[in-house]
């Protein structure tokens, strides 16, 4: 089963041994970040540094003229990825015999939200989520579609993986995060993800809902959870808290908004890409889920993109709804964490891969070449050698 491993340009650039070391793991492909959110990352083998702090979301290559004069445009990277950091890393990885695909993070950008607060998701309490651009807003959608096309189709890349191409919500680690005091499950997280910006308020209106009444209903529905009542989870829990008809109307607005953005972004990438360029989405098969792996309708997304990258940290069960579509031409990639210090299980990779294959996975994604310890990478190498 083909495997690709995630990597950042700063893992490769300045380390003359990095590309060969990655190739020696037994992978044939790398998924290399070309547009990425802020992060603080270890580089345990780099000869020049041990910590890289990417201070804000940025593109890791020089942008072109499509952004001239536009209010919303990508931010260039700072000294963590200067110049054409993606291109430099991609060239080194290609020379090592690896196929390079781009890794593009889209609707996840704290600096955009800080500098353009009106672009952010606004919850029912009026709190803004600066990390979460509202994907219903026309200017934001245009920005995301153009960013997808530019960041995906970089010189030398054979394909792309689009992350966060959908709604984002409360699920977002932040500096000194202190949001775990109340255990919100699926239902509570959905209600906290509902956006009440001006565009979304109009969208609810088109579904027959009064936005002010909906916001009040969401606050009332959440109150028992703040007081410690159990969250029933799943969609039935949302219907119980909000009412079935109201819940369905909110989901109709949000699902259509996400679907049309995904169609537009994939279409823009296809228009810019050479023949044979592969387009995958990081995705969850439950449409109301939000985050880096936003919810999609499996049948729809496999008719739009070439396949999906599916999170398997909690087990491979999310693969099944995609495999059930019977699309033999589609890529269904199981995404496994292999950084033991971040909850990954490199020691069980062979077993996990076998189970994922049984459930319909055609490929694997491994997170992450640069962050993993030497011990983790040794286990990955052994697992891949046995597959």
SS3 state of residue 226: helix
Question: Residue 116: pLDDT above 60?
Answer: yes
**In the prediction, which pLDDT does 355 show?**
97
* Cross-strand bridge partners of residue 281: 162, 308
CA distance 287 to 190: 11
**Number of Cα atoms under 13 Å in the Cβ half of residue 192:** 22
Instruction: Assign 239 a pLDDT band (cuts: 50, 70, 90).
Output: very high
How do residues 270-280 score in pLDDT, each as one tens digit? 999 999 999 99
CA distance 120 to 1: 40
**Average pLDDT of span 191-200:** 97
Helix H or strand E segment including 105: strand 99-105
Question: Residue 212: pLDDT above 80?
Answer: yes
The DSSP call for residue 119 is: G
**In the prediction, which pLDDT does 310 show?**
98
Instruction: Assign 199 a pLDDT band (cuts: 50, 70, 90).
Output: very high
Greater pLDDT, 212 or 229: 212
**In the prediction, which pLDDT does 315 show?**
94
**In the prediction, which pLDDT does 178 show?**
59
CA distance 61 to 41: 19
Packing angle, helices 211-226 and 234-242, rounded to 10? 110
pTM, to two decimals: 0.97
**In the prediction, which pLDDT does 380 show?**
98
Instruction: Assign 231 a pLDDT band (cuts: 50, 70, 90).
Output: confident
Question: Residue 180: pLDDT above 80?
Answer: no
CA distance 8 to 234: 34
SS3 state of residue 46: coil
Mean pLDDT rounded to a whole number for the chain: 96
**In the prediction, which pLDDT does 183 show?**
72
Question: Residue 175: pLDDT above 80?
Answer: no
**In the prediction, which pLDDT does 233 show?**
84
CA distance 240 to 181: 23
Strands 29-36 and 331-337: unpaired
**Average pLDDT of span 152-175:** 92
* Cross-strand bridge partners of residue 102: 32, 160
CA distance 127 to 155: 40
The CA-atom distances, in angstroms, between 142 and each of 103, 146, 259, 269, 277 are 19, 6, 15, 13, 22
The DSSP call for residue 17 is: T
Residue with tokens 């775990």: 180
Going by C-alpha positions, the residue among 6, 1, 81, 85 that lies closest to residue 282 is 6
Lowest mean pLDDT among 46-55, 231-240, 349-358, 375-384: 231-240
CATH of 2-123+130-177+256-385, one of 3.30.950.10, 3.20.20.80, 3.40.50.150, 3.20.20.70: 3.20.20.80
Going from N- to C-terminal start, the domains of the chain cover 2-123+130-177+256-385
Contact 274, 156 (CB under 8 A): no
Question: CB-based burial of residue 387 (10 Å sphere; 0-12 exposed, 13-18 middle, 19+ buried)?
Answer: middle
Q: Copy the structure tokens of residue 89.
A: 């890393």
Question: Residue 80: pLDDT above 80?
Answer: yes
Lowest mean pLDDT among 147-156, 163-172, 197-206: 163-172
Packing angle, helices 244-272 and 234-242, rounded to 10? 130
Instruction: Assign 284 a pLDDT band (cuts: 50, 70, 90).
Output: very high
Question: Residue 179: pLDDT above 60?
Answer: no
Residues 6+ apart with CB under 8 A from 180: none
């Amino acid at each position: 089963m083909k495997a690709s491993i995630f990597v950042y340009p700063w893992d490769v650039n300045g380390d003359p041994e990095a590309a060969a070391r990655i190739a020696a793991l037994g992978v044939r492909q790398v998924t290399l970040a070309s547009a990425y959110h802020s992060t603080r990352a270890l580089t345990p083998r780099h000869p020049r540094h041990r910590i890289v702090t990417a201070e804000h979301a940025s593109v890791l290559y020089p942008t072109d003229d499509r952004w001239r004069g536009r209010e919303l445009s990508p931010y260039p990277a700072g000294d963590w990825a200067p110049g054409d950091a993606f291109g430099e890393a991609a060239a080194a990885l290609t020379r090592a015999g690896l196929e390079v695909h781009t890794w593009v993070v889209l609707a996840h950008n704290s600096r955009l939200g800080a500098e353009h607060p009106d672009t952010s998701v606004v919850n029912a309490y009026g709190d803004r989520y600066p990390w979460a651009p509202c994907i219903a807003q026309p200017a934001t959608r245009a920005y995301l579609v153009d960013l997808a096309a530019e960041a995906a189709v970089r010189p030398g890349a054979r394909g792309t993986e689009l992350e966060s191409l959908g709604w984002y919500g409360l699920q977002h680690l932040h500096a000194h995060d202190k949001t775990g005091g109340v255990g919100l499950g699926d239902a509570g997280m959905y209600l906290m993800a509902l956006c009440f910006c001006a565009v979304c308020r109009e969208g609810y209106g088109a579904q027959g809902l009064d936005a002010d009444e909906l916001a009040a209903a969401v606050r009332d529905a959440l109150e028992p959870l703040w007081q410690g009542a159990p969250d029933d989870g799943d969609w039935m829990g949302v219907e119980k808290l909000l009412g079935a008809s109201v819940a369905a109307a909110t989901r109709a607005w949000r699902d259509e908004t996400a679907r049309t953005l995904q169609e537009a972004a994939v279409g823009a990438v296809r228009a810019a890409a050479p023949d044979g360029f592969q387009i995958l989405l990081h995705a969850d098969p439950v449409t109301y889920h939000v985050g880096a792996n936003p919810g999609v309708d499996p049948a729809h997304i496999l008719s739009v993109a070439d396949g999906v990258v599916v999170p398997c940290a909690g087990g491979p069960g999310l693969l099944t709804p995609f495999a059930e579509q019977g699309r033999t031409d589609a890529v269904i990639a199981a995404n496994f964490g292999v950084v033991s210090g971040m909850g990954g299980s490199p020691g069980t990779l062979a077993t996990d891969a076998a189970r994922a294959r049984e459930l319909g996975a055609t490929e694997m994604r491994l997170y992450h070449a640069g962050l993993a310890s030497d011990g983790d990478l040794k286990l990955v190498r052994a697992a891949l050698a046995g597959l």
